[in-house]
Amino acid sequence: MNILHLCYDGNFINDSVSVFEKYYPQKNIFLVGKEKNKCRILNASSVFRYIPFLRENYSEIYHLCKHSNIDTIVLHGLHRTNVDLLAYLNAEKMYKVYWIFWGYELYIALAQEGRYELLDKKLHFYSAKSYIYPGKYNKFLRKILGKEIMCDVLRKAIPFIDYFCFWNYEDYLLFQREYNTNIQFKYFAYQAMNKEEQSENEIEHSSFEKEKKILINHQASLSANHISIMEKVASIDKLNEYSKIIPLSYGFSSIRNLVLKEGRKMFGEQFIPILSYMPKNEYIGLIGSVAVAIIGARRQEAAGNIIALLKNGVKVFLRDDNNLLAYYLKKGYIIFSLDKDLKTMDDLLPLSELGQKHNFQCYCSNRIYNDDFMPMLIEK
């Protein structure tokens, strides 16, 4: 059993190498669809290959698979380029295919087909670049412009995929309800912990003080509905007593620019955008200091941020149609509905010390370790 990983220049790939190599040593080739000198992933590890997923490179990639006795392919997310490559490779040989689900693939596809509403009805975002916002209009414009259409990418990929790999079973159920496939579920999480990290994460919190700050969303996301969330916050915090921290260091530039414009207009000096990348520990410290965090997405999104917020005692509000609200409630967390529970200034008060302790203990009891799923992930 030898594994070809089709991946991009993403945040999780370096960590994935160490995890897959630990459980499937010397069995992995991570094929990055980009030239090395244009890539952030410049790891010295011999498991990396840098070949753009272009048709002129298909033959080279096929011979790499043949020479390396590849029989398993792991897709890190879905894009038109890796799905087209997968179709080519499967025409030459049948592979066992594992799709590590990222989230955007399913939700954008459903939105483009008019089967899932991602955006609030009051669409402040529409502009000359409206082709990037998921929906039927988006699908039509992207087709004219020759852009990737996610619903077509997903439907093309489905016949080749054997396993849907993710940590949130609710997303798999949504996928099966909408597409009714024979694809099976396997548990997988990019940022699960190793057993040896346990003692570090069992340190009790010594301080429960929260500042008069509200965190809104986690990036300049297509589906975060920034403007409607900011308007709701402004209607509650009429005297602008809370600082509004809005991470915009990655995501779509059109959204970033609009949020900057509207945020300054609504909140003045209390508007605090994050425009550059921060070291992880510094960022976690910043978001852990806020009283309240609001995630405006109507889909599963920002899970890494949400679990860090819950662990650190922040009061978190999610949309009712975001299945993470039900997911974390089932896990026992104290977490709130943005639609039902955020109405007055009192709702912006932080969790009690008891509530913060409860969520920290809930985090400790719900942790998942790589040992819990990695040995069984790939069928040998």
Asked if residue 75 and residue 45 are part of one domain, the reply reads yes
Long-range contacts of 42-47 (CB under 8 A, 24+ apart): 43/14, 43/17, 45/17, 47/17, 47/21
For residue 276, give the CATH number of its domain.
3.40.50.2000
Asked if residue 150 and residue 27 are part of one domain, the reply reads yes
Q: Report d(CA 217, CA 224) in Å as an integer.
A: 7
Asked if residue 233 and residue 162 are part of one domain, the reply reads no
Structurally, the chain folds into a number of domains equal to: 2
Asked if residue 319 and residue 282 are part of one domain, the reply reads yes
Asked if residue 178 and residue 103 are part of one domain, the reply reads yes
Q: How far is CA 120 from CA 124, 152, 223, 336, 371, in A?
A: 9, 24, 9, 19, 40
Asked if residue 217 and residue 136 are part of one domain, the reply reads no
Asked if residue 228 and residue 250 are part of one domain, the reply reads yes
Quick one: pLDDT at residue 158? 97
Asked if residue 222 and residue 303 are part of one domain, the reply reads yes
Quick one: pLDDT at residue 143? 75
Q: H-type helices in the chain, by residue range? A: 13-23, 58-67, 80-92, 104-112, 136-145, 150-157, 169-179, 226-236, 253-267, 280-288, 303-311, 323-330, 338-341, 353-365, 374-377
Quick one: pLDDT at residue 206? 45
Longest Cα–Cα distance in the chain: 67
For residue 69, the enclosing domain spans 3-195+370-377
Asked if residue 81 and residue 186 are part of one domain, the reply reads yes
How would you write the pLDDT of the chain (380 residues) with one tens digit per residue? Answer: 899 999 987 667 877 888 999 999 999 999 999 887 777 665 656 788 999 999 999 999 999 999 999 999 999 999 999 999 999 999 988 899 999 999 999 999 999 998 998 888 655 444 444 445 677 777 777 777 777 899 999 999 999 999 999 999 999 999 999 999 999 999 999 989 888 765 444 545 545 689 999 999 999 988 899 999 999 999 999 999 999 999 999 888 888 999 999 999 999 999 999 999 899 889 999 999 999 999 999 999 999 999 999 999 999 999 999 999 999 999 999 999 999 999 999 999 999 999 999 999 999 999 999 999 999 999 87
Asked if residue 160 and residue 55 are part of one domain, the reply reads yes
- 248, exposed or middle or buried, with CB in 10 Å at 0-12, 13-18, 19+? buried
**At which residue do the structure tokens 């916002």 appear?**
133
Helix (H, G, I), strand (E, B) or coil at 93: coil
Q: Report d(CA 359, CA 204) in Å as an integer.
A: 12
Asked if residue 187 and residue 206 are part of one domain, the reply reads no
Quick one: pLDDT at residue 127? 45
Asked if residue 212 and residue 183 are part of one domain, the reply reads no
Evaluate whether 2 touches 25 at the Cβ level (below 8 Å): no
Q: What is the pLDDT of residues 296-343, one digit of tens each?
A: 999 999 999 999 999 999 999 999 999 999 999 999 999 999 999 999
Long-range contacts of 371-377 (CB under 8 A, 24+ apart): 371/194, 371/195, 372/187, 372/192, 373/186, 373/187, 373/188, 373/189, 373/192, 374/19, 374/20, 374/22, 374/23, 374/192, 375/23, 376/186, 377/23, 377/98, 377/165, 377/186, 377/187, 377/188
Quick one: pLDDT at residue 194? 87
